Amino acid sequence: MKTWLSIFIILLCIGSIVAGNIHWNHKLATKAKLVQPERESVVAKEQAEQAEQEPAENETSKEKEESGQAATDVAAYTKNLPKELQDKFSQAESTGNPLKLVIYGSDSTPTEKGAWPDLLSEQLQAAYGDKIVSTTVITAGNNTSLAVAQAKDYEKVTELKPDIVLFEPFTLKDNTGKIAMKDRIISIEKMIASWKASNNDVTILLQPANPVHNGVFYPKQVDELKAYAEEQKLTYINHWESWPKTEDKTMLDYLTSESLPNENGHKLWADYLIDYFIAK
C-alpha cells in the first residue's frame, strides 16, 4: 500500500512540474505576441520618419547642386566682361534682383524683331534668365547726338535707372549730319551725366554704329570715339573687328542701300556682342 502511495505522489509531482512548464511557456508566448506588434509599430514608425527625411535631404542636396551650377555658369559666362560687370552679374544671381540693361542708340540700333538688339536680348535671356538680367531697347531713330541732347530724348533711359547702358552714340548720324567731334563729346557727356544722376553705379559700354563701305572721315571719327572712351576709362566694344574692311566690297553684303545693317549685318553684330556677354 505504501508503495502505491509513493508512486502516486511521484506521478503527481511530475504532472505538476509538466503542467507548470506548459503554463509558463504559454504565458511567455502570449507576452511575445503582445510585444511583437508594438515592436513592429516602432520599427515602422522609424522607417517612415527616415523615408520622410531622405527626400528632403535629397531635395536640399539637389538645390545646392543646382545653385552651385548656376553660380558656376554665371562666372563662366561673364569672364569676357570687365570685373565691374562680372561682380554685378554675380550679385544679381545671389540676390535675385535682375540687372537693368538698356540698349540705346540711333536707327542702327532698331527695336524690330531680328535686329541685333533683339537677337542679343534673346540670348541673354536664354543664358542668364530674367532673374539676372532684363533688357530694354530704346532707339532715337534718325537723329544726331546734338538733336537727341536738345530734345532730351536720352531721359527715356534716365527714367529706367539702368544698371548697364549699351550705348551707340549716333556716330554714323553725326557723320552724315556733320556734327563736330567736340559737340558730340559734349552731348555724350550730358547723356552719361543724366544716367549717372539716376544711378551713380551705372556701367556705360560705348560702341560705334555699323561701319559703311568706303568710308573716309567716318572711320577716323570712330577712332576718336574709341580714344575718348579710353581717356574716360569707359569700356569700348569694338564690334568693327568682325566686319569686313570698309574698302572691301563684301561689306555691301551686310548693309542696306541706306548703309544700315541688313539681316546679315544684324546677325554679325549680334554674334559679336553675344560672344562678349556670354563667353563659351
Specify the CATH number for the domain of residue 266. Answer: 3.40.50.1110
Residue 67 pLDDT level (bands cut at 50, 70, 90): very low
pLDDT of residue 139: 98
Evaluate if residue 82 carries a pLDDT over 70: yes
3-class DSSP assignment, residue 11:
helix
**CA–CA separation, 212 and 252 (whole Å):** 8
> Rounded mean pLDDT of the chain?
86
On whether residue 145 sits in a domain, the answer given is yes
**Residue 53's pLDDT is what?**
58
Q: Model pTM?
A: 0.77
Question: 51 lies in a domain?
Answer: no
Other C-beta atoms closer than 10 Å to the C-beta of 227 total 11
Over the stretch 119-152, which tens digit does the pLDDT of each residue have? 999 999 999 999 999 999 999 999 999 999 999 9
Domain count, the chain: 1
Cell numbers for 179: 556734327
In a domain, 189, yes or no: yes
Q: Is residue 41 part of a domain?
A: no
> Which pLDDT band holds residue 18 (cuts at 50, 70, 90)?
very low
The listed range with the strongest mean pLDDT (24-28, 65-69, 185-189) is 185-189
Q: Which domain holds residue 214?
A: 78-277
Phi, psi of 224 (to 5 degrees): -65, -40
- Is 26 part of any domain? no
Model pLDDT, residue 65: 44
Strands (DSSP E) found in 106-227: 133-139, 164-167, 203-206
What is the number of residues in the chain?
A: 280
Is 199 within a domain? yes
In a domain, 169, yes or no: yes
Where is pLDDT greater, at 140 or 49? 140
Assigned domain for 122 exists:
yes
Q: How far apart are CA 94 and CA 70, in angstroms?
A: 10
